[in-house]
Amino acid sequence: MASISFKQLNYALAVAQTLHFKRAAEQCAVSQSALSTAISELESQLGVQLFERDNKKVLVTPVGEAILAKARAVQLQMNDIQQLAQAQAAPLTYPMSVGVIPTIGPYLLPKVLPAVREEYPDFALTIEEAQSAVLVEKVRRGELDTAVLALPYATEGLHCFEFWSENLLLVTSADNPLAKERKVRPEQLKKGELLLLRDGHCLKDHALAACRLHPSELDRSLEGASLYTLIQMVAGHMGSTLVPAMALDQMLAGSQELVAVPLEEQGPHRRIAFVTRLNYARVSDIERLIELFQAQLADCQLSLAAGG
């Protein structure tokens, strides 16, 4: 039997991911005919059918699922071999794909990426935004090199590199009695008044923990899909919400109607970390990013403290 090539396995995995031969070919940067030929040759070499296909859809066969699970493991090992070789190069020389959650990305990246670009102008960085569960699974499968998450979060089997921690602050309208408090106690947050993100966002869990509240105590009609939506609801006098410290400058920019008040509950209320696979070879690149991120975040804190 002819040897199975790594290229064939990559093509097959692309088809399994997209369930579409044309999109898989585009993803692999080859013609559809070349990809189809490689898949047919692979099936012939294996003596089994990996995919059922017609003019409307592509399905992975049961035996195909088992074989492609092994192929994913091979792909991951090959990627690790390449990264191990790349790790010997200068820092941030090779491309990196980074996932980031929506309650961190829009507020962290503008603060840190300019410094990364200035020091490493040729560094090819790809950013993907998604919720924590999606990012963790993609890191595990090797579809992302690393991801920036907010802890606590379940990251068993992954390396965590914590690099920042912060508190949540209550943002409310200036005419709310809570706006005059030096600090807000959990018992001051009335049922039905606290606006939080929908299920699936880890910030909701962190907010509930910081306020010592149970999900059953919330009014589910007062949920938003993003921090920006929650801030607009607060501005509309629909309640109050909790905002991470790193987002305050953007959330309250130019507003005279909104006030941020610290929580009495001891922090930090969330910790920020890079997560990656245990055998990821370019940990030194993550460590260099952490150095840059910490320096920029510290500068931002000093600027805010000085009223800048």
pLDDT at position 189 is: 78
Conformation bin of residue 79: beta by default, left when phi > 0, alpha when psi is -120 to 50:
alpha
Q: Same domain for 150 and 289?
A: yes
Q: Same domain for 172 and 231?
A: yes
Q: Which two tokens stand for residue 139?
A: 């890191």
Residue 3, C-beta contacts closer than 8 angstroms, at least 6 positions apart: none
Q: Same domain for 100 and 151?
A: yes
> Per-residue pLDDT tens for 8-31?
988 999 999 899 999 999 999 999
Domain total for the chain?
Answer: 3
Q: Same domain for 100 and 155?
A: yes
In a domain, 91, yes or no: no
pLDDT at position 216 is: 66
pLDDT at position 140 is: 93
* Mean pLDDT (whole number) for 253-261: 87
Residue 63, C-beta contacts closer than 8 angstroms, at least 6 positions apart: 48, 49, 50
Q: Same domain for 66 and 212?
A: no
Q: What CATH number corresponds to the domain at position 44?
A: 1.10.10.10
* pTM of this structure: 0.71
Considering 87-91, 204-208, 250-254, 272-276, the range whose residues carry the highest mean pLDDT is 272-276
* Mean pLDDT (whole number) for 203-226: 75
Q: What CATH number corresponds to the domain at position 217?
A: 3.40.190.10
In a domain, 178, yes or no: yes
Question: Could you tell me the residue range of the domain that residue 125 belongs to?
Answer: 96-163+271-305
Instruction: Show which of 86, 110, 140 is a domain's final residue.
Output: 86
Q: Same domain for 209 and 232?
A: yes
Q: In 10 A of CB 47, how many CB atoms?
A: 7
